[in-house]
Amino acid sequence: MIRNFLGPIWAIAWKDILLEIRTKEIVTPVVVFAILVVVIFNFAIEPTPQMVAAVAPGILWVAFTFAGILGLNRTFSLEKDKGSLDGLMLCPVSRDTIYFGKVLGSYLFMLAVEAIMLPVFAVLFNLSLFLPEVILVAATATLGFAAVGTVFSAMAANTRSREIMLPVLFFPIALPVVIAAVEGTAGTLRGDGWSEIGRWVQLIGVFDVIFLVVSGFAFHFALEE
Amino acid sequence: MTTGIKRTITQEKVVLSSYTNLFLLGVLVLMVFNLYLIFVWVPTDQNLGNVQRVFYFHVPIAWVGFLAFFIVFIASVVYLIRGSEKWDALAYSAAEIGVLFTSLMLLTGILWAKPVWGVWWTWDARLTTTLILWFIYVAYLMLRAYAPRGSQGARYSAILGIIGFIDVPIVYFAVNWWRTLHPEYVVGPAAESGSLETSMLVALLISVVTFTALFSYLLTQRYSLRWAETLIERLHYNRV
pLDDT, tens digit, 9 for 90 and up, residues B19-53: 778 888 888 988 888 888 888 888 777 777 777 78
What is the rounded average pLDDT for all residues in chain B? 82
Q: Which residues of B touch A165 (CB under 8 A)?
A: 142-143, 146
* pLDDT, position B185: 44
Per-domain boundaries in chain B: 2-186+195-239
Q: Which of B142, B152, B181 is closest, CB to CB, to A158?
A: B152
| Terminal Cα-to-Cα distance of chain A (whole angstroms) | 30
With CB atoms and an 8 Å threshold, state whether A169 touches B170.
Answer: no
* pLDDT, position A140: 93
pLDDT band at A167 (very low <50, low <70, confident <90, very high): very high
With CB atoms and an 8 Å threshold, state whether B163 touches A175.
Answer: no
* pLDDT for B2 beyond 60: no
pLDDT band at B189 (very low <50, low <70, confident <90, very high): very low
* pLDDT, position A66: 92
- Whether residue B190 contacts residue A219, with contact meaning beta carbons closer than 8 Å, is answered with no
* pLDDT for A88 beyond 50: yes
pLDDT band at B202 (very low <50, low <70, confident <90, very high): confident
* pLDDT for B76 beyond 60: yes
* pLDDT for A159 beyond 80: yes
Helix (H, G, I), strand (E, B) or coil at A89: helix
Helix (H, G, I), strand (E, B) or coil at B147: coil
Q: Which whole number is the average pLDDT over A66-73? A: 90
* pLDDT, position B5: 62
Cα angle: B144, vertex A210, B152; to 5 degrees? 25
* pLDDT for A107 beyond 80: yes
Q: Which whole number is the average pLDDT over A204-214? A: 91
* pLDDT, position A208: 92
> What span, in angstroms and rounded, lies between the C-alpha atoms of A213 and B125?
26
Cα angle: A215, vertex A220, A223; to 5 degrees? 110
Question: Interface pTM (ipTM) of the complex?
Answer: 0.87
* pLDDT, position B4: 63
* pLDDT for B190 beyond 60: no
With CB atoms and an 8 Å threshold, state whether A183 touches B173.
Answer: no
> What span, in angstroms and rounded, lies between the C-alpha atoms of B162 and A145?
17
User: Cβ of B196: how many Cβ atoms within 10 Å?
Assistant: 13
pLDDT band at B3 (very low <50, low <70, confident <90, very high): low
Looking at A163-167, A187-191, B60-64, which range is the least confident one? A187-191
- Whether residue B78 contacts residue B87, with contact meaning beta carbons closer than 8 Å, is answered with yes
Q: Which of B138, B139, B159 is closest, CB to CB, to A221?
A: B159
Q: Which whole number is the average pLDDT over A26-54? A: 87
* pLDDT, position A145: 93
Q: Which whole number is the average pLDDT over A15-39? A: 87
pLDDT, tens digit, 9 for 90 and up, residues B213-237: 999 999 988 998 988 888 888 888 7
With CB atoms and an 8 Å threshold, state whether B146 touches A206.
Answer: no
Q: Does A214 touch chain B (CB under 8 A)?
A: yes
* pLDDT for B210 beyond 50: yes
- Smallest CA–CA distance, residue B41 to chain A, in Å, is 41
User: Cβ of B57: how many Cβ atoms within 10 Å?
Assistant: 19
User: Cβ of B12: how many Cβ atoms within 10 Å?
Assistant: 14
Query: B2-186+195-239 maps to which CATH number?
Result: 1.20.120
> What span, in angstroms and rounded, lies between the C-alpha atoms of B159 and A161?
19
The residue with greater pLDDT, A140 or B203, is A140
* pLDDT, position A170: 92
Phi, psi of B45 (to 5 degrees): -65, 135
pLDDT, tens digit, 9 for 90 and up, residues B133-179: 999 999 999 998 888 877 888 899 999 999 999 888 888 888 877 77
What is the rounded average pLDDT for all residues in chain A? 87
pLDDT band at B197 (very low <50, low <70, confident <90, very high): confident
- Smallest CA–CA distance, residue B173 to chain A, in Å, is 8
* pLDDT for B17 beyond 70: no
pLDDT band at B186 (very low <50, low <70, confident <90, very high): very low
Q: Which residues of B touch A221 (CB under 8 A)?
A: 80, 155, 158-159
- Whether residue A77 contacts residue A157, with contact meaning beta carbons closer than 8 Å, is answered with yes
* pLDDT for A45 beyond 50: yes
Q: How many interchain CB pairs under 8 A, A with B?
A: 86
